Chains A and B, each alone.
Chain A
Amino acid sequence: MAQADILLSGQGISRRWGGLSALDDVSIDVARGSVHAVIGTNGAGKSTLVNILSGELAPSSGRVLLRGQDVSHWSQPRRARAGVGRSYQRNTIYPSFSVQENCRLAAQAMHQQAWAWWRAAVRCPVTTQAADAALEKSGLQALAQRQAGLLSHGQKRQLEIAMCLATTPDVLLLDEPLAGMGAEETERMLALLQALKAEHAMLLIEHDMDAVFRVADVITVLVNGQVIACDKPQEVRNNAQVRVAYLGEH
């Protein structure tokens, strides 16, 4: 991984809640043009890691770098505006809005102008164009005017990604984007992730191992808040420690 390609880094990140250590000295790099998957059992600290990288949660120690700049003390909205997009495990779309409106609102975050607060949202060409571009990339443009709450589960997950894309991020932190999807929807989402890889640095948390090994360029394995392996998929698959700790082999 070329140093210049690394967009987001977590260095020596730890997070403790009282006596419980959710993350212990975790370091991770996310580079443009690659998918860095983080796998681990429930409670391994995957979502905590994403929360810290995105700024939703402060680390107990360690730091987060964005394009080499220390952003550890930046708020989540500031990091998002600087190019860190994230999706959640559960759907966080706005169900009563149209699909396009969901993306337009996300795009609006990048174009907040105090002097234009009164302007009708539908008449803002910049955010509408950004929303349309995000919908086209995510394959939802045909459903732009449909009410988001009426989409299928897979389409809602796609919309989550589209909302991230509407903010034109450099880094995508995707927390279980395939959760609850059927085979066909999974294939569609994997194709979308592959298509997005060239332009973005992606961190992927996912339980579907087949999907992870298909799209990931690097895999980090977390167990009890500690990194036990970080390597290419094939090496991780053959790692004896991983097989014992995570894949359940003895």
Chain B
Amino acid sequence: MRASKWIFVLACFAALAVFGQVGSRFGVDLATKIMVLAVFALSLELLVGMTGLVCFGQAAFFGIGAYATVLLAPPDGPASILVLLPLCMLLAGAYALVVGALSLRTQGVYFIMVTLAFAQMAYYVVHDTPLGGGTDGIYLMVKPSLGRWLDLDNAQTLYRFTLACLIGCFGFLALLGRSKFGRALAGIRVNEQRMRATGFSTYPYKLAAFVISGALAGLAGFLFAVKDGFVNPEMMSWHMSGEVLIMIILGGLGHLRGALIGAFAFVLLQEFFKSEAVFGEFAKHWHLGLGLAIIASVAVLPRGLVGIPGQIAERLRGARAGSLRTAPGRGGHGAG
């Protein structure tokens, strides 16, 4: 990333840190939710934007992380974050290993369908068995903590912890993108055939990316479960996989900050169209407004929200070139 982009990202994180101190209770809760979804979106960005694998089953890993948080937490006291969080990521990563090992044998639309099928399998496990409490879901009785230092039952602490996770996740993926492994993933995204001809066995690279992505989605699931204190099968449904895909497309594929911006834009648009103060009775049809807004933004902004400065610069350059061509005394018409 160029320096200006780093400054933008650091400014966003600084603004979030400040907002945690000054924001209203509703605002802090909403921002926490958005940051959790941003971690989730970053996990998918590793697959779609960095590796070129369009996974339509990311919600499964998110849900496994969330369900693991609730199911593994002891009912009579707080679980240690140092134990519970790695376990959630490990379980989500383990399921990603199974899904990836099989689905990465396919390509294109088949890959999309196989990942969707695996996600739906996980969905029905929690939906139709007593394990996940069925459609009612299950509650997290006591939120995890780290002794007296980190009690996630406190909204402010959870906000700061979520922000730290988001920054850590972003930094990890930024460094990953510059690493030898990350460059190989970028090569696979652009031209896998060429990578194989050069000597890369691409399957292990893609599988490793899949597992890391699953584990990060598990982290987001952990945060989600801790934030709401409740999980239900809907968070593993294909709608959720679709929503996170829309977030990274809306923000701009191929850019980590696109996942950040996309998560914010998506949730804020959702809140906007749900607002009865703005839309009155029509607010209950918020899906329609949100859908139209997303279609419009994708049509107008093919490079996503992160592409806006570039598009403006190109428009200005085009306008300047046009005015130079038509200016008297500069072009062929006025030369004489």
Contact = CB atoms under 8 A, between A and B. Distances in A.
Interface of A: 54, 56, 75-78, 80-81, 86, 88, 92, 94-97, 101, 104-106, 108-110, 112, 116-122, 124, 127, 163, 167
A155 B99 CA distance: 42
Nearest to B187: A105
Given A119-B180, A122-B178, 6 more contacts: A56-B197, A77-B199, A92-B197, A105-B183, A106-B198, A118-B175
Contacts of A119: 179-180
B183 A108 contact: yes
Contact of B198 (A101, A105, A117): A105
B79 to A, nearest CB: 30
Contacts of B181: 117-118
Contacts of A121: 178-180, 182-183
B125 interface: no
**Most interface-central of A56, A94, A95, A127 (chain B CB within 10 A):** A94
A229 to B, nearest CB: 29
A106 B187 CA distance: 9
6 contacts: A77-B200, A92-B193, A95-B190, A105-B183, A109-B195, A120-B179
B199 A118 contact: no
A80 B199 contact: yes
Interface residues of B, number: 23
Contact of B200 (A56, A92, A112, A117): A112
Nearest to A51: B197
Contacts of B182: 121
B201 interface: yes
Contacts of B198: 77, 80, 105-106, 109, 163, 167
A94 B190 contact: yes
A117 B198 CA distance: 18
Contacts of A127: 180
Nearest to A163: B198
